[in-house]
Structure formats: structure tokens, C-alpha cells
Amino acid sequence: MLPTPRKVKLVAAGAEGPTPLNAFDNALLAAGIGNLNLIRVSSILPPGCAHEADFEVPPGSLTPTAYGYLTSTEAGEEIAAAIGIGFSEDDYGVIMEFEGRTGRAEAEEAVARMVRDGFAARRKRLRELQVLAATHRVEHCGAVLAAAVLWY
């Protein structure tokens, strides 16, 4: 059995690269998580998981992460990614991701609405909502990423 993560931080960034994969990798590096092995997880924030603005994860670690990302090769296009986490009053919370060809305000609004909708679907009370977004204006090949990094 895997241990349950006890802390979470939000990161977001945009970057350019020579290929879509390199742009995505550069966005990971700009967000400070480019040297981790991300294990993509879905939308549940574990019970008792606390937000910490920053914590170190050893390079190469298998790291549970909920993330949204988008790449584009359309010069001049604005792309955005946002992450939202909702903390409940009693136990587990919800994580939602958004990515789109839009601006920061729209991305933040969309992911906040998704978190609230996730709580409503579970008939849970939302105690706290945190959102972080990144936008990027594509020059040649760009990427945006927003992630909730979980750790032990």
C-alpha cells in the first residue's frame, strides 16, 4: 500500500521550446517540478492534507501530482492552465485542473467553478478554495502547466 500524502503545493508556469514536448518540459522546469517523476492523479485531496507554500521533493522521486497542461504551435496564441484545490470542513477535498486557449481570469474562474461543482456533487461544504494559473503568449512552440504537487 502506498502512503497517503500529507501536504500539497500549487505551481504554475509557461515556457517555450523547440518542440511541444520540450516546451512542456521547460514549463515543468519553470514551475520547479521538472526533475521529478510525476505520477498523474485525479481529483481527490487526501484527508488531513495541508497546504504548504513550498517544500522540497528529491529529484527523481515518484511524485503524485494532479495537473493540467496545454501546448501550442500557433504563434501569438494565448494559452492558460489553472489548478484549483478545495479544502472541506471535515475530511477529503477536491482538486480540479483546467487548460484552454484563454486568458488568466477566465482560467481561474473556470477552475474555481469546477472545484465548487465538485463539492456540490459530493454534498460537501467548501471551507477554503485556492487557485493558481499561468498564461503564455506563444512565440513558436509554447506550453502552460498548472499542478497540485502532493508529498509525504
Active site residue 97: yes
Count of structural domains within the chain: 1
Active site residue 42: yes
Query: Can you give the CATH number for the domain in which 122 is found?
Result: 3.50.20.10
Look-up of cell digits 504551435 = 73
Q: Within a domain: residue 114?
A: yes
Residue 2: pLDDT band (50, 70, 90) is confident
Instruction: State the Cα–Cα distance between residues 51 and 77, nearest whole angstrom.
Output: 33
Q: Within a domain: residue 1?
A: no
SS3 76: coil
Determine whether 100 is exposed, middle or buried from the number of CB atoms within 10 Å of its CB (0-12, 13-18, 19+).
Answer: middle
Which pLDDT value is given to residue 1?
Answer: 81
* Whether the predicted pLDDT of 90 surpasses 90: no
Q: Within a domain: residue 22?
A: yes
Domain that holds residue 106: 7-151
Instruction: State the Cα–Cα distance between residues 95 and 87, nearest whole angstrom.
Output: 9
Q: Which residue in the list 43, 61, 88, 109 is annotated as catalytic?
A: 43
Cell of 136: 503564455
Q: Within a domain: residue 136?
A: yes
Instruction: State the Cα–Cα distance between residues 47 and 10, nearest whole angstrom.
Output: 17
Strand 62-72, strand 44-45: pairing: unpaired
Q: Which residue in the list 78, 97, 99, 108 is annotated as catalytic?
A: 97
DSSP 42: -
pLDDT tens-digit map of 41-55: 999 999 999 999 899
Q: Within a domain: residue 37?
A: yes
Q: Which residue in the list 37, 52, 74, 89 is annotated as catalytic?
A: 37
Supply φ then ψ for residue 94, to 5 degrees.
-130, 140
